[in-house]
Amino acid sequence: MSGNTITKLDGLTYTPSRAARELGLKRREFDLAVNLGRIRTVPDEGGGGRRVAHAEIERLRSEDGFPEALLERVRSVSTGEAAGLMGVTGDRFTRLARVGLVVPVAFYLNRYRTLVWLYLADEIRHFAADEQNAPLLKGRSLPEGVRAQLEGGLDLRARNWRGRHLGFLLRRAEDPWQRAGALAALLDPVQIAEIVKDPYERAHVNRFRPGPPTHGTPGSPAAQLAERIMTADDPDEISWLRADLAQALDEARAHRPAPRPAPRAERPAELGHVHPAEHLAAPRHAHARTNAPEPERPRGLLGWLRRRSS
């Protein structure tokens, strides 16, 4: 391969769909790999989102065990599969997940409209292999502290998923406004309006506010579920999200003010200025006409200024 060919390949980038095909991944697996930092992306110079460099594709292909090793690192499993990997019953695994000892990485609504949480198989194996977790996996019952939390109705799965998802969003944020948008993604519009009172700043934050992961068509039960899970509902969680959003907003203002319309005094059209296109539309021989009547003097502020200077 010539040096020129290598140089061209080094500068080549792929869309996410093409990169997923090059790596033998489904799009869902590819997106999860990007979120987890397994696949590095670069900005699209044309403003079309993130892309994957050819060099990154080659790096992944050169790793030992490719593609099976990469697929295993991003494999997600349901509750039943996770329980099997951990060597416990499905009921015990659900209890461990409810108290936050294992954290979901994704979710979906199945055909029976039941919420299904997904977990990283790699994390489940590491949890089961840790000797410190043996009391949680063996024995007839869970430790007393865990049982007390469960009896109180604790279920941290949605909140822990939001925390993890926020980490994914913040990892992709490239400036303070995008970080503010990521934090706002977990708050409802009323909460955002209370923190971001300026309408132009609020519009700019909403521009960078990601929606829920795609689950069904807008308005469908799956989409409504995704929106509900995406929105913080715990008072403590809402409190720290509001505080973090306020801080991110201060940093964003210092970094670059939100765009807003120019003040009225700076709009030349309102002072009687002729649009440049009108000059271009005039015939080129207009200035050669010596018998043309003198144009009417301009009125208003601009006319007064011209008469004053003559």
pLDDT of residue 258: 97
Does residue 192 lie in a domain region?
Answer: yes
Least confident of 59-73, 106-120, 225-239, 266-280: 266-280
pTM, entire model: 0.79
CB 13 within 8 A of CB 52: yes
Q: Tell me: do 67 and 33 sit in the same domain.
A: yes
pLDDT of residue 242: 98
Q: Tell me: do 48 and 29 sit in the same domain.
A: yes
Q: Which of 189, 28, 209 is nearest to 107 (CA)?
A: 28
Q: Which residues contact 271 (CB under 8 A, 6 or more apart)?
A: 301, 302
Q: Tell me: do 168 and 250 sit in the same domain.
A: yes
Is 50 exceeded by the pLDDT of residue 293? no
Residues 96-125: what's their mean pLDDT? 95
Residue 196: how many other CB atoms lie within 10 Å: 23
Task: Look over the chain and give the mean of its residue pLDDT values, rounded to a whole number.
Answer: 86
% of the chain beyond a pLDDT of 70: 81
Does residue 149 lie in a domain region?
Answer: yes
Q: Tell me: do 194 and 178 sit in the same domain.
A: yes
Q: Which of 47, 73, 99 is the last residue of a domain?
A: 73
Q: Tell me: do 149 and 172 sit in the same domain.
A: no
Q: Tell me: do 164 and 230 sit in the same domain.
A: yes
Question: Structural domain tally of the chain?
Answer: 3
pLDDT digits (tens, 9 = 90+) for 217-234: 888 988 999 999 999 999
Q: Tell me: do 51 and 136 sit in the same domain.
A: no
Residues 156-161: what's their mean pLDDT? 97
pLDDT band at 300 (very low <50, low <70, confident <90, very high): very low
Q: Tell me: do 151 and 165 sit in the same domain.
A: no
Rg of the chain taking only CA atoms, in angstroms:
29
Does residue 251 lie in a domain region?
Answer: yes
pLDDT digits (tens, 9 = 90+) for 259-268: 999 887 655 5
pLDDT of residue 286: 41
Q: The tokens of 139 are what?
A: 């024995």
Does residue 269 lie in a domain region?
Answer: no
Does residue 291 lie in a domain region?
Answer: no
Q: Tell me: do 228 and 216 sit in the same domain.
A: yes
- Residue range(s) defining the domain that contains residue 15: 8-73
Is 90 exceeded by the pLDDT of residue 148? yes
Q: Which residues contact 143 (CB under 8 A, 6 or more apart)?
A: 135, 136
Tell me the torsion sign for CA atoms 298, 304, 307, 309.
negative
Q: Tell me: do 172 and 237 sit in the same domain.
A: yes
Does residue 146 lie in a domain region?
Answer: yes
Q: Tell me: do 68 and 109 sit in the same domain.
A: no
Does residue 67 lie in a domain region?
Answer: yes
Q: Which of 73, 97, 118 is the last residue of a domain?
A: 73
Does residue 285 lie in a domain region?
Answer: no
Q: Which of 255, 272, 301 is the last residue of a domain?
A: 255
Q: Which residues contact 215 (CB under 8 A, 6 or more apart)?
A: 108, 109, 222, 223, 225, 226
Q: Tell me: do 127 and 97 sit in the same domain.
A: yes
